[in-house]
Structure 1
């Protein structure tokens, strides 16, 4: 099924789009869509948003910059309201906003802001934009292969498995955040790398919302999924690993764009997808 009738202008939005993968997604969408379509490139710094918009090559969809700080509890709802007034709905949303951490960062000091952006920012975007999806729309959260229960101690699996609402996901993320902040996570089963529980929380959020929307989304050809772009050659990744041979953000964006603009595979719904394949959520699947 196509995203929308060919006669209808399409609307796409990317959060965290001023650099890296987010900017590559904005550029890729602009190239693949038509001049009648609109791509919203968003970020939390207006100067960087404007510079990123200016850097996108012309010739495709119209690229518009919008200020969106997903850490602001009301920002996603405000932007969703403006897009509803302008366009009536949206066709493609990539949730890509992320706070980056380095090996020298103390998890106890950064975890509150980290969860606010990466996790509560994700659930805010899901709440705000899922109701705006038009027939055949796509709502895709950029996560990681670390976002599965394979990377979490079995004693903690029940924290994130089987959740059926975004409120439940937020509650579990808040409990993890507080345990890291007060130091109690160090003496328990939580992994020391905060990226693991955070990514698991993002995928759990997609799964919880999919649990609620699956039937009506299937009837409307809507895809809700998390996606793993794989290792990329970026300065942030380079602080942790040798990424000299890793794909560029532009190359890593290609399968994500295919997922957003190609035919819907019902098997992808509510799942974590990497290069077109579903990554199992937990051992035994």
Structure 2
């Protein structure tokens, strides 16, 4: 059976490197979907993919559009019977000069609600042996939050509850209450915690069935990558290139055996990062 892979946020950086790596490692008859929300950038990204053995198809996708995400899942299921590899990699960037209240709405809509929209739509069409990877960060560990905020994420039982916590944080930023409630000023931290918490919440529900069918659901920290998103915030000394960072993620999804201990966890270079 042909393998079907899909990458969001794939028109540059790590996303494009993942598409290129998948297209090289998979074979003739397999399909890799390169998705993004701008037609011109998606088309230009496709032209930069070299050495492909698998077919690379483009698809417009804005993860802030729930109908578009649902339609993608429906079409992948109709055309292929499901999907084998999903890299949920989209990211709406910010820069240090941004005022959090000015950017928090679209930031949460893309990076957090976009992640949970993808999980709701694509996990049901993940085939046996499938791999679903949410690209996050070590900033998504629970310890990055003050103790009084941690139970909000750790005790959530559904994706709807995770979304509610994230939107309450968004509203606190908008109203100017975030600091007094204890939220970190760097909005990347609660956002990444929300992504990892979403994976962990679903994993508690799905673990037995997924492992019985050799499916893997994980969040990953790819390590420091020299990209336009990271440069304004961090020292890039020693940072990986996107192509270098893609290797561990591709090994995780395309390797012959996966350690069940990784299921539902935040993984960096094949090792679990402790949540609490």
Q: In the alignment, what sits opposite 2:39?
A: 46
**Does residue 95 of the first structure (1) align with residue 88 of the second (2)?**
yes
Q: Which residue of 2 aligns with 1:4?
A: none
- The CA deviation at 1:47 is 1.2
Q: Which residue of 2 aligns with 1:268?
A: 262
Trace 1:234-249 onto structure 2 (pairs within 5 A).
234-249=227-242
- The 3-state SS of whatever aligns with 1:74 is helix
Structure 1: which 4+ aligned runs deviate by more than 2 Å?
none
Match of 1:258 in 2: 251
Q: 1:143 to 1:59 in 2, by over 3 A?
A: closer
Q: TM-score, normalised by structure 1?
A: 0.95
Measured in 2, the distance between the counterparts of 1:217 and 1:171 equals 26
Corresponding position of 2:14: 21
Alignment-derived partner of residue 3 in structure 1? none
SS in 1 for 2:139: coil
In the TM superposition, what is the alpha-carbon distance from 1:54 to its structure 2 partner?
1.5
1:179 match: 172
SS at match of 2:133: strand
2: CA distance between counterparts of 1:276 and 1:83?
28
**Is the CA contact (8 Å cut-off) linking 2:20 and 2:52 kept in structure 1?**
no
Report the Cα distance in structure 1 between the residues aligned to 2:51 and 2:223, rounded to whole angstroms: 28
1:119-160 deviation per Cα after TM superposition (whole angstroms, max 9, x unaligned)? 000000000100011111001000000001111000101110
* 1:110 matches 2:103: yes
Kindly state the Cα deviation for residue 245 of structure 1 after the two structures are TM-superposed. Answer: 2.3
Q: Over the residues paired in the alignment, what is the CA RMSD in angstroms?
A: 0.8
Question: Does 1:219 find its partner at 2:212?
Answer: yes
Matched residues, number:
275
Query: Is 2:57 aligned against 1:64?
Result: yes
Q: In structure 1, what is the Cα distance between the partners aligned to 2:84 and 2:228?
A: 31
Taking the aligned partners of 2:139 and 2:154, their CA distance within structure 1 comes to 15
Deviation at 1:244, TM superposition (A): 3.7
Q: Secondary structure at the match of 2:102?
A: helix
Q: Output aligned runs, 1:97-246, within 5 Å.
A: 97-246=90-239
**Aligned-residue offset at 1:258:** 0.6
**CA distance, structure 2, for counterparts of residue 138 and residue 42 of structure 1:** 18
In structure 2, how many angstroms separate the alpha carbons of the residues matched to 1:61 and 1:36? 6
Question: Which whole-Å CA distance do the structure 2 matches of 1:51 and 1:97 have between them?
Answer: 17
For structure 2, the 5+ residue unaligned runs are none
Kept in 1: contact 2:220–2:267 (CA 8 A): yes
